Every structure is written in C-alpha cells, then in structure tokens.
Amino acid sequence: MDLAQEIERNVSAALTEDVGAGDWTAMLTPEARSARATIVCRASAILCGQAWAEACFRKLDPDARIEWRAHDGDRLEPGAAVCDITAHARALLTGERTALNFLQTLSAGATAARRYVDAVAGTRAKIVDTRKTIPGLRLAQKYAVRTGGGANHRLGLYDGMLIKENHIAAAGGVTRALESARKVAPPGVWIQIEVETRAQLEEALAAGATMILLDNMSTEEMRAAVELTAGRAELEASGGITMENVRAIAETGVDRISIGSLTKDIAAVDLSMRFA
C-alpha cells in the first residue's frame, strides 16, 4: 500500500467525520483573517505524525505554512514547541483537533516502540508489532512503530501466513498445516507457525518450518527452544510481553518479540495548540 495515499484517505475520513455539514464555531472568526499558532508537547515523547498533521491543515488552507521545530523520530521533552503554523484562522480552528488526534496517537505508538527497543538494546531481538491496530489506521500505526525504532510484522492477512492453534487443529496437525500452507501460499507470502510446546516445536522443525512463533512460553522454555532450534528457523516470542519481562525474554536469544500493546494499549501523548 502507498503511504501517501493512505495519509490522504486517513485525513479525508477524519475531517469528514469531525466537520460534517460545517464548523459553525469557526465562523465566529472573520473569513479573511490569518493567524499563527504553535503546537506544544506537554510530555516526554517521540514525535510522529507530521505528514498527517500537515495534510489536515493544508486540506483546509492549501497555502498554510508549517515550520517544524522537531521531526518524526525526535525525542520531545515537556514544553517543547513542535511546530508553528500560519494559515487562515478558520482553517487552524477547524483542523486543530483532527491534526492533534493524529499527532497524539501516532506519537504514542512511536514512544511505546522506542521504550521497548531501548529495553532490549544490545541483544539480537527485534521489537515487532501485530495486527491489533485501530481499524482504519493500520498503516499509520505501523509507520509509528517504525518511527520508534521497531519493525513491522505482516501488514495484513494478504502478505503473510501465521498458522495459529485453530488453523493447526482444523488442518489436522502441525505437519499437515505446513504442507497445506506451502501449497496455497503465493510467491512473496511468508509462512510462520505458532507452537505452544516443545513437541510442537520439534514437529515444526522436522517439517521444515523457517519461521516459528513461541506462544506464551516461559523464559526457560524459550531458552530451550533457542538451543533446540540452533539457527534452523527464526524464532519469535509472543504473549504476555511487558516492560518488566521484555529484557529477560530478549536475553533468551529469540530473534523477534511481537507486542500487541504497541498499537492497541497506547496512551495518547498530551499536545496542545495555542494561537500566538
């Protein structure tokens, strides 16, 4: 998917949702009046969402001028000025909430990702996201994870096969599930299988699995899985990952750690806009 097209779709949908038949309150301001405003961050955060915020204001005033004092991926401290915007006053008033919604949501994802990435620094483990995203904002949230230093798992059901416990049960076991997956997967679509026990891991390896997800295993079980696998497959830890245990999980030697909370349990970053 093209990110520029996705930004256009996201912003158009968000403005339509918010403005509807018209922003009656903004009409209290004379139509020809221009104004200058500054967006300020009220918390420690990693900035993300510049393109979405710019698109909000430029859809309402194509001549809007935006001067960024920080850029996506930069670390912000409380009180930091993010950008200055000069535009029609009505455009600033109407676009304010939508632009801030994108910035606060995407900055939250980038901030969460950076915390986990920093926590596993020095290990081989990559922090990756999941499909547990806000409906309609999948690519935006995955962009935020990358901005925070994390990596993306599959974008959707179309670019990767993750064979989970229900798929295994329906197919008749680990080996049969993998055999069926190889028959139906088109070129470029990778195959990963979830295992919950050592016996399933041994069967997956014997069946030639090259990507294996270790579901809700203890750190001791993960360490044993890494030793047993001996580099024959990429191992991913998943389930119950927190800031308290992520370092210990990374130190087991797994290749990736997938974390749903990067996109589903984020706390919006506090940002505000003030007229000069």
Catalytic residue selected from 69, 132, 146, 247: 132
Is 142 annotated in the active site? no
H-helix or E-strand spanning residue 176: helix 174-184
Catalytic residue selected from 215, 221, 234, 251: 215
d(CA 176, CA 166): 13
- Pairing, β 160-163 against β 190-195: parallel
d(CA 19, CA 11): 12
Cβ 41 vs Cβ 87: under 8 Å: no
Is 194 annotated in the active site? yes
Q: What share of the chain is helix, strand, coil (3-state, %, to 5)?
A: 45, 20, 35
Catalytic residue selected from 61, 72, 129, 194: 194
Catalytic residue selected from 97, 176, 182, 198: 97
d(CA 179, CA 196): 19
Catalytic residue selected from 69, 164, 223, 264: 164
Is 182 annotated in the active site? no
Is 203 annotated in the active site? no
Please state, as a whole number, how many other Cβ atoms lie within 10 Å of the Cβ of residue 101.
18
What SS3 string covers 199-211?
Answer: HHHHHHHHCCCCE
Is 164 annotated in the active site? yes
d(CA 69, CA 46): 13
d(CA 206, CA 199): 11
Catalytic sites, residue numbers: 97, 132, 164, 194, 215
